[in-house]
Amino acid sequence: MRLSIISLKGIQFEGDAASLNLKTRSGEITVLDHHRPLVAQLSSGQAIVTKPDGNKMEFYIASGFLEVGGNNQVTILAG
């Protein structure tokens, strides 16, 4: 999937990801390739991005929104 993490300071990450783990208001979620489309409000916590090579990156998310598009594009708008 193609992932973009955008904060008030600009683009924090943009690239391919194998998976994304993060907390929403409804609970913890894992997003994989070709996940069904959804929009969710995020809770504070770590967003863990696993890249296709297996390396992991962590980002702190205070608040924001997650959008999973039908075109395998995932966007986090973080506050």
Tokens of 24: 């929403």
Torsion sign (Cα): 20, 2, 50, 77 = negative
The model's pLDDT over 34-74, given as tens digits with 9 standing for 90+, comes to 999 999 999 999 999 999 999 999 999 999 999 999 899 99
Q: List CB contacts of 58: < 8 A, sequence separation 6 or more.
A: 46, 47, 48, 49
The model's pLDDT over 9-39, given as tens digits with 9 standing for 90+, comes to 999 999 999 999 999 999 999 999 999 999 9
DSSP 8: T
Q: Please state whether the predicted TM-score (pTM) of the whole model is above 0.85.
A: yes
Domains and CATH numbers, the chain: 2-78 (2.60.15.10)
